Structure formats: C-alpha cells, structure tokens
Amino acid sequence: MNLPRMGLGCMSLSHAYGTPPSEEDGLRLLRAALDGGIGMLDTATLYGGGRNEELVGRALSGRRDEVVLASKGGMALIDGVKRIDGRPETLRAQVDASLGRLGVEHIDLYYLHRWDRSVPIGESVGALAELVAAGKIGAIGLSEVSVARLREALAVAPIAAVQNEYSLWSRNPELGMLDATRDAGIALVAFSPIARGFLGDAVRDPQELDANDIRRSMPRFLPEHWPANAALLPAWRALAAEAGCTPAQLALAWLLSRGPHVAPIPGTTRIDHLHENQAAAELVVDPALLARAGVLIDTATVSGARYAPGPAAEVDAESLEDAA
C-alpha cells in the first residue's frame, strides 16, 4: 500500500512521556493535524490502555476517509502491566476491541506491535491475514522486527509496512532492514524520528522529566551517557541554522532522504511543533549538509544503548550493540 511520506505518531497524547495533555488538548492537536492534511495517524492497543484509540476515534468522527488509519496489537496493558501476546485468538480479540474504540469498521494498517517469541511469527501473521480477508484490516505491518522475521512473515502473507525505530541516533535499520524493505516494496515507517525529542532540542535536562517519563530509564538519557550526548547539541543547532531550518526539521529531512519508502511518524503534544514537523516534508536541504548531519549524529558519536536490558529483550530488530 502507498503510505504518505509523513504521518503523526499519536502515542505521546496518551502514553509514555509523563503526564499527557488533556483530552480536549489532544483532540485539538489531532484536528489540527487533519486540517493540515496529515495523511496518517498511528495509534495502538497499548497506548494509554486503549485511551489513545478512543481519542483518535473521536477526532476521526465524520473524517474517517481523510487519513490512513494505523493501529497495533500483540502488546497491551493487562491490569496495568505490559504484556506481549501474539496468539491468534488474542490478535482477533484485540482487533475487534480496537475497531470498537476507534469507532470504525476497518483499520487500514494493523501492525504486530512486538513479536511474541513464544508464538511462531507465521501464526500471528496468519491470524492477521484472516482479518484482512474478513475486511477488518486492510494490510499487515510488523514492528521492531528483524530482516529474518520479516522474511518468515512474508512466506505467510504480504507485509505492507515495517515500523522500527529509525533516526540519526538509532541506525538499526541500516543493518539490513532499510534495504530489505526497499527491495520488497515495503514501507519503512520510522518511529521516534526526532530521537525522543533529543534532535528537536527538547530535552535540556533529563532529570527534569516527569517521574513516569520512559526516557528516565533509557540509557542515552542517564547521567553516565547524557553529558556526552548533550555535548553534540551545539554543533547540531549550528548545522540546522546553516540549513535554514529547525533542528527537528533537519532530523526529519535527513530521514526523508534515506529513500522514498521511508515514512517518519513524529509525535508531539504541541500544535506549533506539529506544523513545524509537517513543514519538514517540503524542505530542500543540500545533500552535502545532510551527509554532515549523518556524521555528526551517528552510532559512533552517540553514547549509550537504545534500550535498557529489559526492554531490549522484547525487541527483535537488529541491534547495533550486537553488531559492534
């Protein structure tokens, strides 16, 4: 399926980054995104224990046909605890629940949010293929998977998109997934394209983040790594100024230059940042400057792993730490 070059990641409106905005403010942002022509909204069963899908559903009321609607299953909050469960019966139930929360009859793109290592991926994908045949979902996606897992899935059913983390400071897709998706005609949907706010110059002191902000447990934001990473920001700001754009826009422009099949989904809780991100799709940046950006912020210059050991064990995508 053809995806827009850029979408909106909706997670931060309900989940993960401290206290989310009010429902009214979340709706205001989503409606501003629709008014601005954003082409894809990305949500999930997990986000806010289903509240994010309900929020997106309210925003889409009367406007369903304006966007590609994407959601995810196979990972959910059960009694407040995150559970990965890729069993066919679980996925069928979660799709039905997502349809209800979203208030729609059809979800355009539905991802397996994480591969459940206790369930062969072919079984999970096979269940999603049945849901495609039933008309409940339009296409199948996979999230945080490796090239090997993608190939296993492709042996069972067509895969429309792979959603893995990809940004200047998280280059894991360059260990094979960038090429594999391009060669197979699959979209590579890049989540956290602004490096969880780092490349947007939005984090000045991680110790000031809300106590329940997930970045507080991510190695790159911890005291042993943050000073080295923060030291990159003055040169990053200067490079964006040279490009005539904001730091966040430069991060998105670099990603968009990685191939026509790469689709970033930056998230935000602020309408001014929403418009700033959307404008990045129209930027023309000198390729030589983009190359310099790729040298300044790269695996060799960034300190710390992508995830702490626990969350890292949940991810199947190729690991730069393992490749080192």
Report pLDDT digits (tens) over 30-87.
Answer: 999 999 999 999 999 999 999 999 999 999 999 999 999 999 999 999 998 999 999 9
Alpha-carbon distance of 174 to 288, in angstroms, equals 19
Contact, 112 vs 285, CB < 8 A?
no
SS3 of 300, please? coil
SS (H, E, C) 90-146: HHHHHHHHHHHHHCCCCEEEEEECCCCCCCCHHHHHHHHHHHHHCCCEEEEEEECCC
Give me the pLDDT at residue 2, please.
Answer: 87
Query: Hey, what amino acid is at 68?
Result: V
Q: Does the pLDDT of residue 322 top 90, yes or no?
A: no
Give me the pLDDT at residue 323, please.
Answer: 60
Alpha-carbon distance of 18 to 13, in angstroms, equals 10
H-run or E-run covering 41 = strand 40-42
Share above pLDDT 70 across residues of the chain, in percent, rounded to a whole number: 99
Q: Does the pLDDT of residue 324 top 60, yes or no?
A: no
Dihedrals φ, ψ of 40, to 5°?
-150, 135
Q: For 8-323, which CATH class?
A: alpha beta
Contact residues for 230 (Cβ-Cβ < 8 A; gap 6+): none
- Residues classed as catalytic: 47
Report pLDDT digits (tens) over 97-135.
Answer: 999 999 999 999 999 999 999 999 999 999 999 999 999
Q: Does the pLDDT of residue 320 top 90, yes or no?
A: no
CB crowding 292-318: b at 16 or more within 10 Å, else e: ebeeebeeeebbbbbbeeeeeebbbbb
> Averaged over 301-309, what is the pLDDT?
96
Q: How would residue 1 be classed by pLDDT, with cut points 50, 70 and 90? A: confident
Give how far the C-alpha of residue 285 lies from the chain's centroid of Cα atoms, to the nearest Å.
Answer: 23
Query: Hey, what amino acid is at 131?
Result: L
Q: Which two tokens stand for residue 296?
A: 């300044």
Q: Bin 9: left if φ > 0, else alpha if -120 < ψ < 50, else beta.
A: beta
> Averaged over 222-245, what is the pLDDT?
98
Mean of all residue pLDDT scores within the chain: 97
> Averaged over 179-202, what is the pLDDT?
98
Closest to 147 in 3D by CA, of 170, 173, 129: 173
Give me the pLDDT at residue 71, please.
Answer: 98
Contact, 206 vs 197, CB < 8 A?
no
Alpha-carbon distance of 122 to 10, in angstroms, equals 28
Give me the pLDDT at residue 25, please.
Answer: 98
Closest to 87 in 3D by CA, of 124, 126, 132, 122: 124
Between strands 262-264 and 68-73, the pairing is unpaired
Alpha-carbon distance of 192 to 196, in angstroms, equals 5
Alpha-carbon distance of 314 to 251, in angstroms, equals 26
Closest to 76 in 3D by CA, of 58, 56, 91: 91
Q: Does the pLDDT of residue 218 top 70, yes or no?
A: yes
Report pLDDT digits (tens) over 157-167.
Answer: 999 999 999 99
Closest to 245 in 3D by CA, of 306, 310, 305, 199: 199
> Averaged over 284-313, what is the pLDDT?
96
Task: Report pTM.
Answer: 0.97
SS3 of 211, please? coil
